[in-house]
Amino acid sequence: MVRKIIPIVVIASAALSARAEEYTALPADYDYSKVSEYFTRCLQSQVLTNYSVSPFEDGGYAVSPDNIGTVSDNVWQLWADANKSFSEQKLNSGKTLNKLTKSASWSYDIPSDLEPWFQIAHTWENPPEPVREFARMKYILGSKGTLDGPAPMFINIHGSGVVKDEWSMAQEVCRTDHDTPKIYFIAQIPNGCWIDGYSWYRWFQRSKQWVWEKVFRQAFLRSEIDPNGLFFIGISEGAYGSQRVGSFYADYLAGIGPMAGGEPLTNCPPENMRHVAFNLRTGEKDNMFSRDVYTRYVGEYLDRLSEKYPGDYPHMVKIEPGQPHSLVQYNQGTTPWLMDYRRNPVPKHVCWENYPMDGRYRDGFYNLRVFKRSAPDDDTQGRGYYEMDIDDNNVIDMRVSVVVEDVLQWDNSYYGTGLPLYINKQYTPATTGRFKIYLNDRLVDMTRPVTLILNGQKIFEGVVTPTLEDVVNSIADYYDPERIFTASIDVDIDNMTAGAAVAGIEDVTADGCDAPAVYYNLQGIRVDNPVRGRMYIRRQGATATRVIY
């Protein structure tokens, strides 16, 4: 039987025309300067806070499985080089890491459109600093113990008293703990004040998000720091901040350690902390702002999640008997417990409630990248909720919902408007939205067909192929050496369609090949009885081609 080979790569769904270009083999002499220029534009966008760079596109180049490791390494090095040459404040000014006892302070200057600097009498700076337009986050960065290799880094955020006193206490707590080796990033709040009824003494605000994302990006480029060993810890206001920021950035973290806190769960969905270690300790007598009540509640909530997803929600939530707000030995029950955990950067089972923090949503989480949210921007009308499970048969079961919270009980102890205490969540299947599922060989077997089921309906089946675009875009999206993805599936919920670059090779496998031939239509769906004269994707052994049967 004669089969005519058409040497182009097809796209599994014509509905996603943005990917309907031909994919060709990446040439050996490819000009990588285009990638470097793109990375520089991405860095400029992040510094300017507009995040407006479009995805990288350059001819739709496919990469062979044998070469994908080399290409990924090369592109990551280009990212590292772009960061190194980019003019910005570097973590620790790019200098060698010192011991914590000898560390000087460094700082990040926050763009003035995110947070101005207020020089007023009660700013708690003593003495006041010179007049400037921008807020400045100071920090201490230093190591404890002997670093024989990459070590975990704990980001410590302090409480809401007098700034210089709180920052000093945070440093003392870090210097006097005993579990090593580790690295500490000890932050100082830029503005410890209220202006026109608004408190800038909050760690979750957009201005601080700008800092945290810079810290993640730069930490991933430091050889001393374990990319799977980032933690957020904090006391009091820092406890609220670490719990809230931790849920928002859970995909970057190995663990979260609030101390003497307890945040309303509407601000920090526990679902997001799947695979992330969570340790919360609050005193039995720490009743102000219902800290003890919120602490008990998050423990009960995580217990229920642990029953539903055994082993996926490691947590230790404890009410310390007889203790007030000022816990004895803050870190002694927190960091030693957290030190046993490391991040899983590419889990096959993900839960993500995409909630706004200071009005801003994340565009990505683990291997998911959202282009159109499934819920309105108005948070009162619900939030997008994504649940992904990948099994050993290359089946991706994706459920996308809109989740609406009902407040079962309000806490009116300290605020006239009240804080949501106990909540219930209602989930409705999403009817709109667009997102990308990034893939690599840690998530699926790239040599076999991948099946995607969305809200109970199969919308894709096919062998996805690695592309240069996915390597570049995943690095630009997450700036994470542990999350370099080589392929992807684009999903359109509005039309219930999905598209991917499907493997296509110019070589022809002889009819005598021992492996059986399997055929798929141009939508990526397997065809058991192909019809003569029609076009299919033919898979035989490790070879896939587009053929007329």
| 135-187 pLDDT per residue, tens | 999 999 999 999 999 999 999 999 998 999 999 999 998 988 878 899 999 99
Cα(265)–Cα(247) distance, rounded to whole angstroms? 10
Structure tokens at 220: 């991933």
Cα(418)–Cα(266) distance, rounded to whole angstroms? 13
Look-up of token digits 């240069």: 468
pLDDT at 63: 93
Look-up of token digits 């700036």: 479
Cα(236)–Cα(51) distance, rounded to whole angstroms? 32
Phi, psi of 68 (to 5 degrees): -65, -35
pLDDT at 245: 98
Cα(59)–Cα(57) distance, rounded to whole angstroms? 6
Structure tokens at 412: 């009116």
Cβ atoms 486, 510 nearer than 8 A: no
Bond prior to 190 in cis (omega within 30° of 0)? no
Cα(190)–Cα(108) distance, rounded to whole angstroms? 10
Cα(483)–Cα(469) distance, rounded to whole angstroms? 14
Close Cβ partners of 350 (under 8 Å, ≥ 6 residues apart): 274, 365, 366, 367, 368, 386, 387, 388
Q: What is the CA radius of gyration of the chain?
A: 25
pLDDT at 507: 35
Q: Which runs of E-coded beta strand occur in 327-447? A: 349-354, 364-365, 368-372, 383-390, 395-411, 419-429, 434-439
Structure tokens at 392: 């050993």
pLDDT at 119: 60
Cα(103)–Cα(305) distance, rounded to whole angstroms? 41
Burial class for 323, CB neighbours closer than 10 Å (0-12, 13-18, 19+): middle
What angle do the packed helices 237-248 and 206-219 form, to 10 degrees?
Answer: 60
Residues in the chain with pLDDT < 70? 1-22, 47-52, 119-132, 328, 331, 415-417, 502-514, 522-525, 532-535, 541-549
pLDDT at 413: 74
Cα(158)–Cα(155) distance, rounded to whole angstroms? 10
pLDDT at 299: 97
Cα(4)–Cα(1) distance, rounded to whole angstroms? 10
How big is the CA angle at 196 (ends 191 and 197), to the nearest 5 degrees?
85
pLDDT at 176: 86
| Run of H or E residues at 4 | strand 4-5
pLDDT at 158: 96
Cα(6)–Cα(538) distance, rounded to whole angstroms? 11
Close Cβ partners of 96 (under 8 Å, ≥ 6 residues apart): none
pLDDT at 513: 52
β-pair type (182-187, 151-157): parallel
pLDDT at 184: 96
- Residue 485: closest CA among 386, 366, 363, 391: 366
Cα(474)–Cα(25) distance, rounded to whole angstroms? 20
Cα(407)–Cα(423) distance, rounded to whole angstroms? 4
Question: Position 457: which residue type?
Answer: Q
Q: Number of helices (H) and strands (E), helices first, in the chain?
A: 8, 28
Look-up of token digits 């310390």: 320
Structure tokens at 534: 């029609």
Structure tokens at 74: 């090369």
